[in-house]
């Protein structure tokens, strides 16, 4: 009888929020189970951070502190045997380079995964929806542009509403009708502006935006990121 291949081990920095971390855990395990059978699950280490210590970052000093928190977490995962690190939050990829420079294992960049998938699908013009620091931040937008995606200007007029929904509702797992209506309005307006697709720049947005049935194709950063992580786990599975 052929011995089953031993999978690599994944390290997930989560807790930002735990709602999206739960989705990552489920999506990665479902992908591994679909490939290897109903009794299989994903070898994974999870460092669940306290988001209270990382929310509302604004100054350079705040972000420097956040970088050290995430770096310490990544180092613990690396020391425990993780061969690839994931940060389960779009906004925290602002400190990606600081972590990349200090670790000996790779970090899978969420926007890079999204950009590669959009390029493969031939998307040339898209809109990015999420918290203010993501939709305006060069650290995220540059990754998509590098894959040939022309991004519409940030939808800043809705920023306060979007951030309130994310940080007061979605991180608690609450999906409300008013939130669903707001995002339908945003997506409709972006389609009218010429967007061919929508990128979800917050890992909780799939709670209120129907990824599979909308007026435009929806690129859910969390699901894409998790799927790529599962692919990495399965690469050496014969």
The predicted-structure confidence for 194-236, as pLDDT tens digits, reads as follows 999 999 999 999 999 998 877 899 999 999 999 999 999 998 6
Residue 2 has a pLDDT of 43
pLDDT range class, residue 46, cuts 50, 70, 90: very high
| pTM for this prediction | 0.93
110 contacts 221 by C-beta, under 8 angstroms: yes
Give the bridge partners for 220, in sequence order. 200
Q: Residue range 64-87: average pLDDT?
A: 97
pLDDT bracket for residue 1 (50, 70, 90): very low
Residue 56: pLDDT band with limits 50, 70, 90:
confident
What is the CA 180 to chain-centroid distance, rounded?
Answer: 20
pLDDT given at position 235: 86
Kindly state the average pLDDT of the residues 149-158.
92
Question: According to the model, what pLDDT value does residue 175 have?
Answer: 94
């Amino acid at each position: 009888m052929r011995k089953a291949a031993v999978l690599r081990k994944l390290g997930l920095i989560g807790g930002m929020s735990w709602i999206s971390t739960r989705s990552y855990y489920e999506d990665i395990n479902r992908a591994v189970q679909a490939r290897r059978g109903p009794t299989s699950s994903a070898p994974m280490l999870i460092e669940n951070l306290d988001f209270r210590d990382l929310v509302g970052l604004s100054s350079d000093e705040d972000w420097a502190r956040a970088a050290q928190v995430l770096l310490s977490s990544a180092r613990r995962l690396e020391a425990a045997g993780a061969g690839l690190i994931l940060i389960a939050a779009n906004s925290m990829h602002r400190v990606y380079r600081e972590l990349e420079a200090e670790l000996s294992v790779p970090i899978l960049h969420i926007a890079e995964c999204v950009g590669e998938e959009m390029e493969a699908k031939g998307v040339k013009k898209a809109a990015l929806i999420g918290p203010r620091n993501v939709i305006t931040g060069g650290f995220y937008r540059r990754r998509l542009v590098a894959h040939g995606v022309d991004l519409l200007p940030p939808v800043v007029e809705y920023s306060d509403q979007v951030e309130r929904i994310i940080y007061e509702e979605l991180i608690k797992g609450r999906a409300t009708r008013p939130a669903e209506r707001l995002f339908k309005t945003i997506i409709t307006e972006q389609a009218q502006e010429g967007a061919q697709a929508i990128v979800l720049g917050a890992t909780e947005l799939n709670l209120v935006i129907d990824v599979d049935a909308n007026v435009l194709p929806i690129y859910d950063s969390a699901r894409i990121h998790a799927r790529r992580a599962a692919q990495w786990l399965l690469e050496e599975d014969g």
